[in-house]
Structure 1
Amino acid sequence: MKGAGGTAVSTCLKNNNYFTMKIGLLEFNESIWPSLERTRAFYLDTITKRFDTCAVTTSNNGEINVTPDAIVNFMGNAGWELTTHPDCPLIFGIHGGTILNQAFLRTHLGKLRPSDMLIVNCQSDIDILNSMFADNAPTLCHLPLPVDDTCFRPMSKQQVRKQLGLQEDDVVVGFVSRLLPQKNLHRYLDLLVQLKKQLFPRKVKGIVIGKYWIDYPVLDYQTGNYPNYIQQLIEKLGLKNDLLYFPANLSNDDLATCYNAMDLFIHPTNSIDENFGYAPVEAMACGTPVLGAAYGGLKDTVISGTTGFLMPTWVTDAGIRMDTFAAMQFATGLLTDKALKESMSAAALRHAAGYSRETCADILCTAITKAVEGYNEDVPAINASLLPVPAISSQEEYLPEIDIPWKYYKEQVRYYVSNADNKPDEETLVYTSVPVVQLSADRVQLDDPAWPAVYPTDALTQTIISYCQTPIKIKTLLDSCDTDLPRITVLINAGLLSYSHEKV
């Protein structure tokens, strides 16, 4: 309410009843993205149940048809492109836009006022937005997203494995995601093969749930060929008889059955706009520990060392890299230590309880109420001011040429990764980021459809690569070939080598 309506708002909040407020809904159209559609349904159900709502439309000249107490623009451009600011706060859902839509945001953020609000789903987005505003910034809200605890809950492992045709003593690790290069199914398969070797003679099985999206436009290096790449990789790694595959259209009950059958859920995402991630929270709600990338929303949802483990991540000139050596150390430790697995399973259950629908709905409604109560028509209309656009750091062009290249996203992605700087020392382990393909005597390529970087090499670099096929301590590497720590650091920053502070 505006003006004298503040008292009524406070009274209705005590009774958990928001119906004295009229909330306008703008751009709540259905989405082709399953996760975004799920988020839209949560917003819509929560707001319509707790507030008096109305539909807001805009005319061709950018004017709204009604002025409620607040307008919530779920997605789309309409609210951003209004001709004049309405006489109420504007509330925008930001769904990965801080990474993907930087140019659009910078064009429109300066129209907002301190009484407006931006709702994001991870702390990394809060950090990015805070870095963009110089003064009079809108209010920022960190909204976790809910998991249905009536579906995603612990079940009898013996029963669900029998249902899936798995043995009770199998080691089962799972992957649930859209099947895109940036989601790193291929890295999951590499980890699966390593676990088979490490845990032999125990049988290791994988569960993969997802759908290929061959026309995904972001960092589209090898997306169209990804299904063929994965099939060839499965054959090459000898995993054909070790995988259960299910399409992405499983019911929540069937999905929960799969989560419960897993000993470990693996989520090695490099998807640059991974601002939340439903699947890791769903897995934890079923009591399954998570091994994920320390990236974006996962840094908030997975408690490393308690509910699972987060692989350190960092930015390079040729994309995102992660410490897969540390991942294997954790995975083999967890899968061979029953007490640790039970402890992490219990911790995952407790932690996932904080993502209930009621908890997340309360955060959303409190945010909307805060925007309404904070709006005062007597306050001068002061727009936000933005800091200059940070310069794109210089880099070699290791990745294939595409319309919107990696360097466009690189500076913002620094807020999503876990390691701000790469500072190896002589005790650090280094290893090739992924398998390396020799293209010629002086060129190598990473066998990675997410980051198919090509590097020019000299004789020394080729020697370093040969030593780094398995993790090696930098001190040992320096003693073995004529190189130095700055040279190794350059190769890490280029993305050719990865590093780990774990011990062999």
Structure 2
Amino acid sequence: MTLKKIGFLCVGLKGWISLERTKSFYIESLKNTCEIILIHSEEEFFEKLDSFDIVLNFFGNLVWEHKDKIKTPVIFCLHGGAVLNYKFLVNNAEKVSAHDSFIVNCTSDIAILKEVFVMPPNIHLLRLPISKDIELNYSKNECKSVFNINENTLLLGYVARILPQKNLHHAIHILNKVKNEVTKDVKLIVIGDYWVDYPILNWQKTENEYHTYINELIDSYQLSENILQFQSNLSNDELTMCYGAFDFLIHPTNSLDENFGYAPIEAMKCGTPVIGTAYGGLKDSIVHQKTGFLLDTWSTESGIRSAYYKGVEFIKKLYGDSALKEKITNNCLERIEEHYSFKNCAQNLVEIVNISTNTKMSTISMTGNLDFLTYKENEYLPTVKPSWNYYKKVAQLYCNTSIENIEFSSTLFLRTFSKFSILEAQIIFEDPTWPAKIPFNPQTEEILKACETTTNYNQLKEELSFTLDNSILFNLISIGALVVSQQKTP
């Protein structure tokens, strides 16, 4: 049998560890059913173009630039690009033919593509597999003992690049709240390296700015004895041991292109539940209350907001309940085996390529939804280009909720977004991910101070010195000054 020839384009792919890992998965999955022709340059592309049965645009813009010269179906791999490059997709939609298709890694990207194109193209959802090297053969107590941590110590974990958008500071806020409300015997293991060259909404002015912020936060909470930190160069065995030791993985990311996330599925492979933002790929991998806890997440005028403090309720729920913890652990293991095993993910990819290769060629082209492009500069955040407003509409499609249906009742709980100060008629929020500034007025200040700890709507009304206007409160929520959660009524 003659193998189908895939032109596998990865021009310019350097330094992205997660993408290199995904690339290896593609190649290993397809090598037995296809002849893979790796293309690393424009010269190679044109030299071998006529020999392809299908083109897989894994990385780079070479296919987009020369789409008119390609006479076979094309599979475009997005890797989170639906959020970051939606304008590019709209403006280049006519280059996509009806016989082409997209591979996405989360259902949120499907929603974006349906907005970006007037008529949706062929879209395939591909889950990515757990690494074969993540295999835990020890008990949780044995794993903890490796770090000289007592078996009764509640151990939280954070595994990610350390930059504002990954929200290590919110993991530390959760650690402090757990220490004060659940148990003093709690620790957080942080695995990751500080990054300073993140290209998206990077407000950092100096190389060590976020590092300094984290150290000051730890000191202010007096948590230095509660935190252990390791760099990201752990071996797979060492990383697996960490996942096995964690009682919970805390994954509070606000990274705009969080379309998948390997750390959460790696933790679940080791039976560890994940507390993560209900954003992008995490909405697919974490099953709320079964394999972890999804923190309600929404888009505001000054950035993404999540009800981080709600995650502590899940920790309280499992703490000391061995039967429930065992059930959650089994749920994690079952979910990974069913949806994220290499075999199942590879089979899905092979099927996608077969379907795409056998798709009938068409002269029909897609059309971009130009109405989806309108945006304005942001008035609450520092000036960067593109601004937060450039991403706000697509980021909302990555979120699991919105503020439109808030009920102003006893079921509503509110909390000030972050610590704040007042300077030159502005209220300045001291969050490094979303350093917002809003206009000052005495009523706003009074509301924010009343919500410095989580406050019930009815309690807030009683505490204020003035009659609360719900439109003012809704405006503060819309701006992002207040974080909310709505308790579900029976």
Q: Normalising to structure 2: TM-score of the pair?
A: 0.93
CA distance in 1, matches of 2:374, 2:254: 20
Identify the residue that residue 39 of structure 1 maps to in structure 2: 22
Match of 2:229 among 242, 245, 258: 245
CA distance in 2, matches of 1:61, 1:183: 37
Deviates more, 1:471-480 or 1:272-281: 471-480
Deviation of the 1:194 alpha carbon: 0.6
Q: Which runs of 4+ in 1 moved over 6 A?
A: none
2:140 pairs with 1:157: yes
Unaligned residue ranges in structure 2 (runs of 5+): none
Q: Write the deviation string for residues 468-488 of structure 1: whole angstroms up to 9, x where unpaired.
A: 011112122223322221111
2:408 pairs with 1:423: no
Identify the residue that residue 350 of structure 2 maps to in structure 1: 365
Identify the residue that residue 9 of structure 1 maps to in structure 2: none
Aligned residues: 481
Deviation of the 1:30 alpha carbon: 4.1
Identify the residue that residue 447 of structure 1 maps to in structure 2: 430
Deviation of the 1:273 alpha carbon: 0.4
Match of 1:491 among 466, 476, 483: 476
> Residue type of the partner of 1:302?
I
Deviation of the 1:370 alpha carbon: 0.3
Q: Mapping of 1:87-106 within 5 angstroms?
A: 87-106=71-90
Instruction: Answer yes or no: is the 8 Å Cα contact 2:159–2:191 preserved in 1.
Output: yes
1:501 to 1:336, Cα distance in 2 relative to 1, 3 A: farther
Unaligned residue ranges in structure 1 (runs of 5+): 1-11, 13-18
CA distance in 2, matches of 1:459, 1:63: 66
CA distance in 2, matches of 1:365, 1:124: 22
Instruction: Give the SS at the match of 1:74.
Output: strand
Identify the residue that residue 6 of structure 1 maps to in structure 2: none
Deviation of the 1:188 alpha carbon: 0.3
> Residue type of the partner of 2:482?
L
Deviation of the 1:503 alpha carbon: 8.2
Deviation of the 1:164 alpha carbon: 1.2
Deviates more, 1:58-67 or 1:280-289: 58-67
CA distance in 2, matches of 1:159, 1:61: 51
> Residue type of the partner of 2:15?
I
Q: Write the deviation string for residues 419-453 of structure 1: whole angstroms up to 9, x where unpaired.
A: 1334322220111012223335x322112100010
Instruction: Give the SS at the match of 2:190.
Output: strand
Q: Write the deviation string for residues 354-401 of structure 1: whole angstroms up to 9, x where unpaired.
A: 20111111111110100011134xxx4111112223254668611111
Identify the residue that residue 307 of structure 1 maps to in structure 2: 291
Instruction: Answer yes or no: is the 8 Å Cα contact 1:210–1:246 preserved in 2.
Output: yes
Q: Write the deviation string for residues 117-145 of structure 1: whole angstroms up to 9, x where unpaired.
A: 1111000001100111123x431111111
Q: Write the deviation string for residues 5-46 of structure 1: whole angstroms up to 9, x where unpaired.
A: xxxxxxx7xxxxxx5312121226543121112111211222
Q: Write the deviation string for residues 51-107 of structure 1: whole angstroms up to 9, x where unpaired.
A: 122244775798563331101111001111115242210111101111111232223
Give the RMSD, CA atoms, in angstroms. 2.1
Identify the residue that residue 197 of structure 1 maps to in structure 2: 180
Instruction: Give the SS at the match of 2:228.
Output: strand
Deviates more, 1:329-338 or 1:352-361: 329-338
Identify the residue that residue 259 of structure 2 maps to in structure 1: 275
> Residue type of the partner of 1:101?
N
1:60 to 1:258, Cα distance in 2 relative to 1, 3 A: closer
Q: Mapping of 1:370-385 within 5 angstroms?
A: 370-376=355-361, 380-385=362-367
Instruction: Answer yes or no: is the 8 Å Cα contact 1:179–1:210 preserved in 2.
Output: yes
Identify the residue that residue 478 of structure 1 maps to in structure 2: 461
CA distance in 2, matches of 1:55, 1:329: 49
Q: Normalising to structure 1: TM-score of the pair?
A: 0.91
